[in-house]
Structure 1
């Protein structure tokens, strides 16, 4: 397995991210009561209160993630409050700040906090020591620290890997989870909380490797399109055979056992909650569009472009170009076939959602 440091988790190049980030918005709103409760628990701390959202992205979900904490802290002087939005350089920062300071943002409230940004990777330090009261990381930590080239011609994502390929991916995923937690521990105030909500996986007999991972239909639809384009000569076979999305959706046991087995992490955190939960959306992110197959297909295409477009372009389309086809043309053909597949098969490739919830208290 070779690793590259391309910023695949960046939102750079994403197509209309906010309009196609339904899952991200739903997740932020789904967890608003949890964030409010955590913020109330720490509201009496004498230290200045800060909420930092790691891997914030450029959409309205970033606003909805921090808003409950600000509501819980409304009685504190605004000089004691700060929000930090943390993400990579390629994030669409202008769009995000437009939302923060817009009509539906929080920066114009009567008790508005200090607004900060931190630009970099959350696999490195992003905040000063003991400066964060509540750290959130929503739909981001399942992206690994590095892009991956791994020979796996049968699949493009972790859940369907087998044998040595799966072992190699897990070693990177486990190392990244440990590193992420250690870094956040340095940044958290004593008594502060880290709240991670990521795409997750659960045990399921009959599935490859005995787990069902979030979004399995969507990733398998992409794999079907990749396979058809390789067969037709539209994608380079060697490039496709060595392309795997650089992500891993943890099960609750994987997340918990990694902490409990680590002498350092078990001394840094008290585990409040670690669980994988099914998000009840009828088993399909776009169930409400199912009666209109073309609209259903367009919604899935927009959603997939928003989270996966940059990764696919840099690691699959661009390396396959140069044989009379540009990366733009390859990308257009990929999403044409992708939409046609969804229009024909519809919810055979439905995007189910299991979310890993990890709430850890800094000791």
Structure 2
């Protein structure tokens, strides 16, 4: 039986050994939409007399996509007069921390620009309390809040809840998402310093019910269905193969704010901005230029595998060798399906950017 206690496995963990960093161009492009909000969040924020600042990177994965926002935060707070800046990266305990440490220390784009910047890590879910009350000045999170604290149930007909025909199951996933969003806000409301802020970038579902990812996801779903039909996955394992997520609608993102959110300690959060946007397929320009369908399919398959493989493996009651074989076959079949018709598979990602601030 596969176990979520095995290193590198579990719902929400990214593929290790730096694989996620090498295959997360989509998430990196998405994060860029939030960089301007970092400067807005810092603008006018009062600092404590000791001029020490705490910045959190929530859901850091392997760190490459965190460098630009953390550098923006460090630069902004330095300009505001901050002296010591603690940058605290958080993710699940089974995260690939070794790659994160190497990225922070050695990447040429690191935010470690002087000796007054101090990196730390916390191996815990951001749906839990992470920081001392009223000490957090800025939190950043990108491509992370759609992940659920845990999958509420198996899905018998699709790995992605919002493509399932099971209305009861969809409601369970939607309900878990709403509860998780409230938990996130409750903990951050306690942790944020007065005038502290959260900047987030995440996926979204538009008014027509589209996430923009469904065409790509259907290629993977067909491959999973094929593995079940061949007998490589039992009915039980097939149903357990889920992407434990919910892509919130604009109204679901806004729902806790009526018009503000009051946390358990009495702190009040204001939703300063919430902006829907669309991001094109980052791999499409290269395909348009060279026409190489196999290269395009490899890029999209690497993207999918980087964030889904650990969740899939942890759900299967298979030996490690059988897991390796099924993973290889499933993603090879996915790549073949994408390469057959790249235009039909190409996603047009729906995103949302947001800025929260503690106002009381």
**Partner-residue secondary structure (3-state), 1:73:** helix
Of 67, 70, 77, the match for 2:71: 67
Is the 8 Å Cα contact of residues 193 and 361 (structure 1) preserved in structure 2?
yes
Q: Which residue of 1 aligns with 2:160?
A: 157
In 1, Cα distance between equivalents of 2:181 and 2:162: 17
In 2, Cα distance between equivalents of 1:325 and 1:100: 33
Q: 1:295 to 1:38 in 2, by over 3 A?
A: same
In 1, Cα distance between equivalents of 2:354 and 2:21: 25
The 5-angstrom pairing of residues 200-349 of structure 1 reads 200-204=204-208, 211-260=209-258, 264-265=262-263, 268-279=268-279, 281=280, 284-290=281-287, 291-315=291-315, 318-319=316-317, 321=318, 326-349=322-345
Is the 8 Å Cα contact of residues 53 and 82 (structure 2) preserved in structure 1?
no
Q: Which residue of 1 aligns with 2:179?
A: 175
Deviation at 1:234, TM superposition (A): 2.1
Q: Which residue of 2 aligns with 1:137?
A: 141
In 2, Cα distance between equivalents of 1:314 and 1:54: 23
In 2, Cα distance between equivalents of 1:97 and 1:15: 11
Deviation at 1:78, TM superposition (A): 6.1
- More relative contact order, 1 or 2 (CA 8 Å, 6+ apart): 2
The 5-angstrom pairing of residues 60-139 of structure 1 reads 60-75=64-79, 79-106=83-110, 108-110=112-114, 112-139=116-143
Deviation at 1:69, TM superposition (A): 1.2
Is the 8 Å Cα contact of residues 257 and 270 (structure 2) preserved in structure 1?
no
Q: 1:214 to 1:144 in 2, by over 3 A?
A: farther
**Partner-residue secondary structure (3-state), 1:285:** coil
Is the 8 Å Cα contact of residues 67 and 106 (structure 1) preserved in structure 2?
yes
**Partner-residue secondary structure (3-state), 1:11:** coil
Alignment length (residue pairs): 346
Q: Which residue of 2 aligns with 1:11?
A: 14
Q: For 1:133-170, what per-residue CA distance to the aligned partner results, in whole angstroms no more than 9, with x for missing partners?
A: 011111111100013433x3322112123421111111
In 1, Cα distance between equivalents of 2:267 and 2:251: 19
Is the 8 Å Cα contact of residues 260 and 270 (structure 2) preserved in structure 1?
no
Q: 1:44 to 1:219 in 2, by over 3 A?
A: same
In 2, Cα distance between equivalents of 1:246 and 1:21: 18
Answer with 182-191 or 254-263: which moved more: 254-263
Q: 1:117 to 1:287 in 2, by over 3 A?
A: same
Q: TM-score, normalised by structure 1?
A: 0.87
Q: 1:251 to 1:357 in 2, by over 3 A?
A: same
In 2, Cα distance between equivalents of 1:338 and 1:192: 43
Deviation at 1:256, TM superposition (A): 0.6
Deviation at 1:180, TM superposition (A): 0.8
Provide structure 2 residue ranges, at least 5 long, that are not aligned to the other structure: none
In 1, Cα distance between equivalents of 2:301 and 2:28: 18
Provide structure 1 residue ranges, at least 5 long, that are not aligned to the other structure: 205-210
**Partner-residue secondary structure (3-state), 1:57:** coil
